[in-house]
Structure 1
Amino acid sequence: MNAPKNILEVWRKFDDVGMDTITKAFFYDKRKKRQRTVAEMKEHYEGFGAGGNCFDLAIWLLAELNEAGIEAYPIGHDFFDEKAHVALIALGEDGEKYYCDLGDQWIQPILIEKNDRFIEGKLAGFFPGAYVKVETKEKEFNISYIRNNGKISMQTFPLTRYTNEDLLRAGELSQARIWKALCEKRVRREGTDEVTHWEFYNWKSFESSLSGLNKEPELSSKDEWAERIALNMGMDLEFVKAALSKFEYIEK
């Protein structure tokens, strides 16, 4: 179910790039709601440790895959809606399809079509804090996320192939919406081989692992939250403080 070496080599360039919505808030006025270019994303990552939302990361990853000679294209659900989520399908040398989702901070891409390597059971090592199971149908595929406590959630993705123009247009719509602050990051803690999932949302933060959910203590100021976010996301502290100023703080 693992992607071939050439796809993984590109994917690994993003191992330390988190997903967030605070970057688009920081640059909201400067970019006049438009989608950032790949060159801008690289500059902002190098300067501030900033990643971006799912559209940013899909556009950036698509450019890197294409540069490496790998065919890829965008897919998603609710594509031009406020609930939109985007990911990519990257094609192997034999045309087999691999689902690549940096927006949800997958550990690595996964095969989504049946062949002699397809495994129907639950798998570890693809998504932080959960096992996954892929079910492929004619026009869509389902991904089940299975937690150790028995909780199961599911996403369904149409196999609709969107164009690069669709991707940019949907990205523009997403960039124009400033909603609640959200940050997600794959994390490998010292002393363990497991990749976990750290998340900040609605002024709460927690970390998911195969052993369960660790809810972190709540904080009492934006500056304290900025410090925690900067530490876990690998972002510049002053950048995070400025970005959080765009969001209403919920007093606890």
Structure 2
Amino acid sequence: MRAGEDILGVWRCFDGLPMDNLVKAWHYEQAGVKKQRSVEEMREHRKAYGLGGNCFDLALWLLTDFRAAGIEAYPIGSKLGTEQGHAAVLAIDESGRRFLCDLGDQWIQPILAETQDEAFLDAPQQGFFPGAAVQLSAEPDGLTVIYQRPGGKLSVQKYSLDPVDLSEFWQAAEYSQHQLGKTPMIEVRVAHEGELAHWEFNSWQSELSTTAGLINEEPAPSLDAWIERIHARSGYDRDIVEFALAFYKSLE
């Protein structure tokens, strides 16, 4: 079941907004003690440099825009305060139905998260996640999403649907901004042969996930070539991409 136009209207403003750790590495050096950007900073960086952010950045930004539009919403997460922490948002429509909104994992659109709707939960759903069908499973402590990709590959994401206190969520976001990782990564939804596919650069490899299967791209022959490929896919400022890639190269 798809969300109404009020929720979708806000969600669509984030189309094409990447999730990555490149912005994290770039901003870390210039930030003060606190590394988590304000929503105002994120908007400024998007306008000036084309930037997105990590899952906490995107969740905080989306949450702010939902509330500004008069839509009830709250932050959720899993493994908050750890290196595996993940952030998303639940938005509530006028009838009280909750929709999972996960920009960090690059969903195409929000999906109904009501665990009592067994008919919806039991069947794989198309058109919500790029390059995969999704099947939702109700759990005593939340919701499990099973991603079913071409060729039979499965992956899993678990969510608690309990609201996270906003101050606690900001603390978890701050912790996440200090975890830079060891390799560069960026993901973005891109148009590909009539569908929205999932493009990912990770550990100096890039690939495109489509409903027809995984397309592995040829490795770029140089750092400059990687900069151009990432810029072309994401729209990120070349200088910022170069800074972030050089930072991760220095960790090798």
Name the TM-score, length of structure 1 as normaliser. 0.94
Aligned to 1:128: 130
Q: CA deviation at 1:153?
A: 1.6
Instruction: In structure 2, list runs of 5 or more residues that go unmatched.
Output: none
Question: What amino acid does structure 1 have at the position aligned with 2:185?
Answer: L
Question: What amino acid does structure 2 have at the position aligned with 1:205?
Answer: S
Q: CA deviation at 1:119?
A: 5.0
Q: CA deviation at 1:244?
A: 1.6
Aligned to 2:157: 155
SS at match of 1:3: coil
Instruction: In structure 1, list runs of 5 or more residues that go unmatched.
Output: none
Alpha-carbon separation, structure 2, partners of 1:97 and 1:167: 19
Alpha-carbon separation, structure 1, partners of 2:204 and 2:251: 7
Q: CA deviation at 1:154?
A: 1.5
- Once superposed, which parts of structure 1, at least 4 consecutive aligned residues long, lie more than 4 Å away? none
Aligned to 2:202: 201
Q: CA deviation at 1:120?
A: 2.4
Residue-by-residue CA offset, 1:114-151 (whole Å, 9 max, x unaligned)? 34983521111100000001112342111110112112
Alpha-carbon separation, structure 1, partners of 2:202 and 2:15: 21
Equivalent residues in 2 for 1:57-76 (5 A)? 57-76=58-77
Alpha-carbon separation, structure 2, partners of 1:223 and 1:183: 16
Alpha-carbon separation, structure 1, partners of 2:96 and 2:178: 35
Q: CA deviation at 1:201?
A: 0.4
Alpha-carbon separation, structure 1, partners of 2:104 and 2:222: 27
Q: CA deviation at 1:163?
A: 1.3
Aligned to 2:40: 39
Aligned to 1:232: 233
Residue-by-residue CA offset, 1:144-193 (whole Å, 9 max, x unaligned)? 1011211222222122210111111011001111112110000113xx32
Aligned to 2:188: 185
Same amino acid, percent of matched pairs:
43
Q: How many residues align?
A: 249
For residues 159 and 183 of structure 1, do their structure 2 counterparts lie closer, same or farther at Cα, with a shift above 3 Å needed? same
- 2:139 matches 1:118: no
SS at match of 2:247: coil
Q: CA deviation at 1:34?
A: 1.8
CA contact (8 A) 2:184 2:244 kept: no
Q: CA deviation at 1:100?
A: 0.3
Aligned to 2:174: 172
For residues 249 and 121 of structure 1, do their structure 2 counterparts lie closer, same or farther at Cα, with a shift above 3 Å needed? farther
Q: CA deviation at 1:91?
A: 0.7
CA contact (8 A) 1:72 1:89 kept: yes
Alpha-carbon separation, structure 1, partners of 2:54 and 2:172: 12
Aligned to 1:24: 24
Alpha-carbon separation, structure 2, partners of 1:16 and 1:155: 22
Equivalent residues in 2 for 1:204-219 (5 A)? 204-219=205-220
Question: What amino acid does structure 2 have at the position aligned with 1:137?
Answer: E
Alpha-carbon separation, structure 1, partners of 2:194 and 2:217: 21
Alpha-carbon separation, structure 2, partners of 1:87 and 1:62: 9
Question: What amino acid does structure 1 have at the position aligned with 2:138?
Answer: T
Name the TM-score, length of structure 2 as normaliser. 0.94
- State the Cα RMSD in Å: 1.6
Question: What amino acid does structure 1 have at the position aligned with 2:231?
Answer: A
- 2:247 matches 1:246: yes
Q: CA deviation at 1:249?
A: 6.2
Aligned to 1:2: 2
Alpha-carbon separation, structure 1, partners of 2:120 and 2:66: 23
SS at match of 2:95: coil
Q: CA deviation at 1:219?
A: 2.0
SS at match of 1:245: helix
Alpha-carbon separation, structure 2, partners of 1:147 and 1:224: 29
Residue-by-residue CA offset, 1:179-238 (whole Å, 9 max, x unaligned)? 12110000113xx32110000001110000011111111123222111111101111222
